[in-house]
């Protein structure tokens, strides 16, 4: 592994490398979005090339689709795959019950659809993503462009009656222009600080007209793999409560480590 990778990037790689070991020949796999998921796609591409692994990938964004194709992974739509064996994705936060905040990369709508259509979801994360209570990371909600300001006002009004610390909402920008999702929608980031009841909030947000989907993943993730910059990793399985620890070998083919620019 090149020395220029930061400890956090090494941690992401370690988690990603371990996660692809759960992929078996013939599987249909949901491919997450973000810098951690990008490591996973690269590691999976390496397995496809070196082992002739035959898998079908369903990407959760146009970015991931492009990377997967570059890596020689067969890409199909969710309509074609219909149901998946496994989804592997990153996260912005995870709590002790493996509930998540996702959408920092603006892809949580497709990510949630794909993860929900999977037998299993494995989340890969560096240790900095672990929290006791969700909410320090701004919660993204995808909203349709029509009437988005009204949607924003309705969301703020609704937040006043819920157990959250902060209530500020901001339109996500991409430079001077609003950020646009793969579905042509906008993202509102909710600066909540601390979410008292994530399940209630997730349900309430999706009741507001104009909200397409929120970034709370409740009861979707089955296992988390936490990577550390020194090669250690920890795996927690929600169903069994099992915790396993090991160490990943950093000696890898050079092409896995080319700059992902992600």
Q: Which residues are catalytic?
A: 111
Token look-up 């082992």 returns 51
CB of 254 to ligand 5RP, least distance (A): 22
Containing 120, the helix (H) or strand (E) segment is strand 118-126
Q: Is residue 41 near ligand 5RP by the rule CB under 6 A? A: no
Q: Is residue 99 near ligand 5RP by the rule CB under 6 A? A: no
Q: Is residue 107 near ligand 5RP by the rule CB under 6 A? A: yes
> What radius of gyration do the chain's Cα atoms show?
18
User: Which residue, 85 or 93, is less far from ligand 5RP as judged by CB?
Assistant: 93
Alpha helices, DSSP H, located in the chain: 7-19, 35-51, 62-70, 78-81, 108-116, 148-159, 198-205
> Quick one: which of 9, 19, 30, 33 contacts ligand 5RP (CB under 6 A)?
33
Site string for ligand 5RP, 242-261 (x = CB under 6 A): --------------------
> Quick one: which of 30, 57, 103, 227 contacts ligand 5RP (CB under 6 A)?
103
Taking each continuous run of H as one helix and of E as one strand, the counts in the chain are 7, 17
| Residue-level length of the chain | 262
Distance in angstroms (rounded) separating the CA atoms of residues 174 and 148: 17
Q: Is residue 182 near ligand 5RP by the rule CB under 6 A? A: no
Stretch binding ligand 5RP (CB under 6 A), from 44-52, 100-108, 154-162, 190-198? 100-108
Query: Number of residues in contact with ligand 5RP, rule: CB under 6 A?
Result: 18
> Quick one: which of 104, 135, 138, 210 contacts ligand 5RP (CB under 6 A)?
104
Pairing state of beta strands 186-191 and 177-178? unpaired
Task: Name the residue among 69, 2, 8 with its Cα closest to residue 252.
Answer: 2
User: Which residue, 44 or 107, is less far from ligand 5RP as judged by CB?
Assistant: 107
Residues 74-93 that bind ligand 5RP (CB under 6 A): 89-92
Stretch binding ligand 5RP (CB under 6 A), from 34-42, 80-88, 153-161, 218-226? 34-42
User: Which residue, 154 or 180, is less far from ligand 5RP as judged by CB?
Assistant: 180
Stretch binding ligand 5RP (CB under 6 A), from 51-59, 103-111, 198-206, 252-260? 103-111
Alpha carbon 44 to its chain's center:
16
β-bridge mates for residue 89, sequence order: 123
Strand 216-217: give its sheet, edge to edge: 93-94, 100-101, 216-217
The DSSP symbol for 238 reads T
Q: Which residues make up the interface to ligand 5RP (CB under 6 A)?
A: 32-37, 89-92, 102-108, 111
């Amino acid at each position: 592994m090149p020395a220029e990778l930061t400890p956090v990037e090494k941690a992401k790689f370690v988690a990603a490398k371990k996660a692809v070991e759960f992929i078996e020949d013939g599987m249909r796999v949901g491919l997450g979005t973000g810098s951690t998921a990008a490591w996973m796609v690269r590691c999976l591409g390496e397995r496809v090339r070196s082992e002739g692994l035959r898998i079908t990938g369903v990407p959760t964004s146009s970015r991931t689709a492009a990377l997967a194709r570059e890596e020689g992974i067969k890409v199909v739509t969710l309509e074609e795959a219909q149901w998946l064996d496994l989804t592997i994705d990153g996260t912005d936060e995870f709590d002790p019950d493996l509930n998540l905040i996702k959408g920092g990369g603006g892809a949580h709508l497709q990510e949630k659809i794909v993860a929900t259509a999977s037998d299993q979801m494995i989340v890969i994360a560096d240790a900095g993503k672990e929290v006791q209570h969700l909410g320090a990371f701004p919660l993204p909600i995808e909203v349709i462009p029509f009437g988005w300001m009204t949607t924003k006002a309705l969301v703020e009004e609704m937040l006043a009656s819920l157990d959250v610390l902060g209530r500020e909402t901001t339109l996500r920008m991409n430079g001077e222009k609003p950020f646009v999702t793969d579905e042509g929608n906008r993202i509102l980031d909710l600066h909540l600080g601390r979410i008292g009841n994530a399940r209630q909030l997730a349900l309430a947000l999706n009741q507001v007209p104009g909200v397409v989907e929120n970034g709370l993943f409740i009861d979707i993730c089955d296992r988390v793999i936490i990577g550390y910059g020194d090669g250690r990793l920890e795996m927690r399985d929600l169903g069994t409560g099992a915790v396993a620890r090991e160490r990943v070998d950093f000696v890898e083919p050079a092409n896995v480590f080319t700059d992902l620019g992600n």
